[in-house]
Amino acid sequence: MGKEIKLCLVGYTYRSYPMEVAFKRASQLGYSSVEVRDFTDIDLKSLQGIEKALNRAKEMSTKYKISILLFRTINIKELSPKSESCIIDEINSICRMCKTYGVSIWNTRINLIDGPKSFSEASDRHIDAVVGFLKEVSHILEQYHITLTIESHMGNIHDTLNGLVSIVSSVGSDRVKACFDFANLLIVNPTENLLKAIDLYYDLIGYTHLKNLRLYGDRYDWGIPIALGDIDYRRVLERIFERYDGLLGIEYCGTGDPYYFSKIDLEYIMDIINELKGRTLQ
């Protein structure tokens, strides 16, 4: 743990609030950055909306001394050269905006609109097409010095650990990394060994999401503080800090007062970090 650990407030926590509320709370509580997404006063569906949102986020970044990340899904209607060309143009525009407004990490999901919604449903054709597409995207990312992190998430071709690491490792670029959302990994596969996943694939991680959940057979509850779920984050963070010193995103996906959860979750994670730092100094 040589480097200072930086914590990001994932914007989805404040999805029912305007952007400035998230930045203000992040600054008050001690977060170093905000992942911009899903606020009530922005629209990330269009390029115009993205630029407007990033311009606003840059103002908030300056005002509250908080850095910014972007979340925006990459939607692919069909895997064809014509469709891919349009999406590549859009990605180039978004990367240019990220560079302009000081964003170095773009967190995303690859949504195949008319395609498979899980890795298990995907054919080799789908996987090869997505990998080829991301290889082309990696050259744009390199041009603008942006890192694209692909989040483990239900309903996408990269929903499982195997799917995510297979795609990211096949791209073979330091500009395309994995975002390990540990709770999402367990939703898709409740038996996933998270510590083993970190040991095997730490070099692919470019970002993480920390939230927790309780698993109940065929359903789950993620409306709980990070400290009270099935994931033992003391063990997860101890393991990940052996290999990874990048950004940690703290996220709450349930209902209720987001200020309460963003506060107590940060305090819990900081308690673990301080304990682990104390061990390394002994």
Is residue 1 domain-resident? no
- Top pLDDT among 234 and 4 is at 234
Nearest CA to 31 among 57, 63, 5? 5
Is residue 132 domain-resident? yes
Predicted confidence (pLDDT) at residue 82 exceeds the cutoff of 60: yes
How far is Cα 108 from Cα 118, in angstroms, rounded to an integer?
A: 16
- Top pLDDT among 217 and 199 is at 199
CATH of residue 142's domain is 3.20.20.150
Please count the other Cβ atoms lying within 10 Å of the Cβ belonging to residue 96: 16
Query: What domain count does the chain have?
Result: 1
Is residue 215 domain-resident? yes
User: In which domain, by residue range, is 48 found?
Assistant: 7-281
**Maximum C-alpha span of the chain:** 59
Answer yes or no: are the C-beta atoms of 27 and 64 closer than 8 Å.
yes
Mean residue pLDDT of the chain comes to 95
Record the tokens describing residue 209, joined without a space: 């999401």
What is the arithmetic mean of pLDDT over 245-251?
Answer: 96
Q: For residue 81, name the pLDDT band (cuts at 50, 70, 90).
A: low
pLDDT at 280: 62
| Phi–psi pair at 105, nearest 5 degrees | -125, 125
- Top pLDDT among 133 and 80 is at 133
Predicted confidence (pLDDT) at residue 281 exceeds the cutoff of 60: no
- Strand, coil or helix: 76: strand
Q: For 112-143, give one letter per residue: b (16+ CB within 10 A) or e.
A: beebeeebeebeeebbebbbebbeebbebbee
What is the arithmetic mean of pLDDT over 232-252?
Answer: 96
Is residue 148 domain-resident? yes
Is residue 240 domain-resident? yes
How far is Cα 258 from Cα 261, in angstroms, rounded to an integer?
A: 5
pLDDT at 277: 86
Is residue 155 domain-resident? yes
Is residue 141 domain-resident? yes
**Tokens 């942006």, residue?**
146
Is residue 270 domain-resident? yes
Torsion sign, CA atoms 32, 138, 108, 153: negative
- Top pLDDT among 81 and 54 is at 54
Q: For residue 86, name the pLDDT band (cuts at 50, 70, 90).
A: confident
Record the tokens describing residue 144, joined without a space: 């603008």
- Each residue of 42-52: pLDDT tens digit? 999 999 999 99
pLDDT at 262: 98
* E strand residue ranges, 203-270: 205-210, 214-216, 219-221, 248-250
Answer yes or no: are the C-beta atoms of 228 and 212 closer than 8 Å.
yes
pLDDT at 235: 97
Predicted confidence (pLDDT) at residue 34 exceeds the cutoff of 90: yes
Record the tokens describing residue 219, joined without a space: 């359903």
Q: Which amino acid appears at position 205 of this protein?
A: I
* E strand residue ranges, the chain: 7-10, 33-36, 67-71, 74-76, 105-108, 110-112, 147-151, 176-181, 205-210, 214-216, 219-221, 248-250
Please count the other Cβ atoms lying within 10 Å of the Cβ belonging to residue 63: 12
Specify the DSSP element, H or E, that contains 99: helix 81-100
